[in-house]
Amino acid sequence: MPATTLLCLNTGSASLKFALFALADCAGPSLPVALMRGEIDNHDGQALLRWTDAQGQTHRSASNAPRGDIAAEVDALLDHLIAPAGLGEIAAVAHRIVHGGERYTSAQRITPEVRAALDELRSLAPLHQGPGLAGVDAAAARLPTVPQIACFDTAFHATQPPLARRYAIPRAWHDKGFKRYGFHGLSYDAITHRLPALLGARAQGAVVVAHLGGGASLCGLRQLKSVTTTMGFTALDGLVMSTRSGAIDPGMVLHWITEEHLDATQVTAMLYHDSGLKGVSDISGDLRTLEQSSDARAAEAIAVFVASVVHHIGALAADIGGLDALVFTGGIGTHSARVRADVCHALSWLGVALDAQANAAGQRCITRSDSRIPAFALATDEEGVMALQAAALLA
């Protein structure tokens, strides 16, 4: 019997998401509907497994696989969920790989050569590249005859004009590849599949998509292509994030090194793991925890995060020549009515008129009918995009 399904593994900095698709449903151009999807999510140290089965029933349980032990998580998914479901043999496993560098701007079959090249990019995305490759290794160990396919977050931004990718650094360093790459591309790609049905011809205009989660960034679109984005050479730049600082004065880093005598390891730990919401609040990097807290430091952290989002939306609107629509996505973007409301209120001068009831109810459109700029809360589907890319490569 021929293999009939595609397994997608999406290993992020705080969760492992997965989805299983019928291969026949992945011919495109529409995003396919999953036979099963879910995630292992780390909520302040507690690993929880959530999934929706083929009948649409949602399940939740504590995960026995420690969050971050990718091999154990992949084993748990295959042994306890996917194999018992009897949904067909797996034709390929698609993996979200955050950084493809200059070389990989489309999905790739993972050969030893490709695996080695991606490992060399680990320092450019230290929170993600390692876990993503660990997922590749774990799946290859369990399914050694099944093709492993890499789908890249950076690939979506390859359409950006050269000027948008240029840093004002010496040309020799630029020519070595020190440029803006951008991330969350699979998420942005998924949103572009949904915009035409929501906006019609307006979808081809100036749209800012806010992918807000543990990692957070914005992307400015025109004609459904990436024109500008807030992340750059690494996934540290741009917005305030869960534990990452976002954009800061590089002179401060130099000061820490020269005057405070911090070494590279200490600075890296501070900027990637101890900053952002976690650093400002000194409580947690999880927005869910901060929203439930009455501590003034939690409120300050949320306010700093919102101000960062608002600031960069304004900057991206300038880059793309206006704003025809705003989309919130990602874990925070789709689940935090508070953050969406605060951002929209701050952008009211641009013509964003929030519908408070629709926003609180988590409806798709969260602005009033008379809003000059419509705003939406849309669940992304990185796994659906991965399935399309993997199926196209297999074909």
Residue 222 · residue 320 · CB < 8 Å:
yes
Tokens 């976690």 locate to 278
State yes or no: is 137 an active-site residue. no
Torsion angle (degrees, nearest 10) of CA 273, 275, 280, 281: -10
Omega before 250 within 30 of 0, i.e. cis: no
Diameter over CA atoms, the chain: 66
List Cβ neighbours of 90 (8 Å cut-off, separation of 6 or more): 3, 5, 6, 7, 82, 143, 146
What's the token pair of residue 7? Answer: 């397994």
Q: What angle do CA 101, 247, 97 make, to 5 degrees?
A: 25
List Cβ neighbours of 384 (8 Å cut-off, separation of 6 or more): 19, 21, 31, 32, 34, 190, 193
Each as own residue / partner, the long-range contacts of residues 61-69 (CB below 8 Å, 24 or more positions apart, any chain) are 65/40, 67/15, 67/16, 67/40, 67/41, 67/42, 68/42, 68/131
Count other Cβ atoms within 10 Å, centred on residue 15.
Answer: 20
Q: Which of 222, 152, 192, 156 is nearest to 378 (CA)?
A: 192
Strands (E), 53-160: 58-62, 90-97, 108-109, 148-152
3-state secondary structure of 262: coil
CA pair distance 7, 217, nearest whole angstrom: 26
3-state secondary structure of 299: helix
List Cβ neighbours of 7 (8 Å cut-off, separation of 6 or more): 18, 19, 20, 82, 90, 92, 93, 94, 139
Catalytic residue of the set 25, 153, 286, 381: 153
List Cβ neighbours of 304 (8 Å cut-off, separation of 6 or more): 240, 280
Strand duo 15-22 + 375-377: pairing: unpaired
Strand duo 325-329 + 207-212: pairing: parallel
Q: Which residues are catalytic?
A: 153
